[in-house]
Amino acid sequence: MSRASFPLPQGFAWQYDLIVWLQSYHSAVLDRVAAAFSFLGTESFYFAALPVLILAVDRVLGMRLAYVFFTSMYLNAWLKSYYHIARPIGVPGIQSGDVRSATGLSMPSGHAQGTMTFFTALALWLRRRVWLLVAVLLSVAVGVSRVYLGLHWPMDVVIGWVLGLFIGFFGWQMGRWWTYRGIPFGVAMTLSVLFPAILLIFARDVTSSVYAVFLLVGGAGAALEKRFLRTAIDPALWKRAAAGVIALGGVVAVQLAVQAHLDEPLWQYARAAAVAVWTTVLAPWLFHLLGLYTREADHHRNG
* Threshold 0.85, pTM exceeds: yes
pLDDT tens, per residue, the chain with 303 residues: 555 455 666 777 888 888 889 888 888 888 888 888 888 888 788 888 999 999 999 988 899 999 999 999 999 999 988 888 888 887 888 887 665 655 677 789 988 999 999 989 988 888 888 888 888 898 899 999 989 888 888 999 999 999 999 999 998 888 766 555 567 888 888 888 999 999 999 988 888 999 999 999 999 999 999 889 999 999 999 999 999 999 999 999 998 998 888 788 899 999 999 999 999 999 999 999 999 999 876 544 443
C-alpha closest to that of 278 among 54, 35, 32, 87: 54
Angstrom CA distances, 180 to 24, 50, 61, 227, stand at 50, 16, 10, 11
C-alpha–C-alpha distance, residues 163 and 151, integer Å: 19
Q: What is the largest CA-CA distance in the chain?
A: 73
Residue 237: CB atoms within 10 A of its CB come to 8
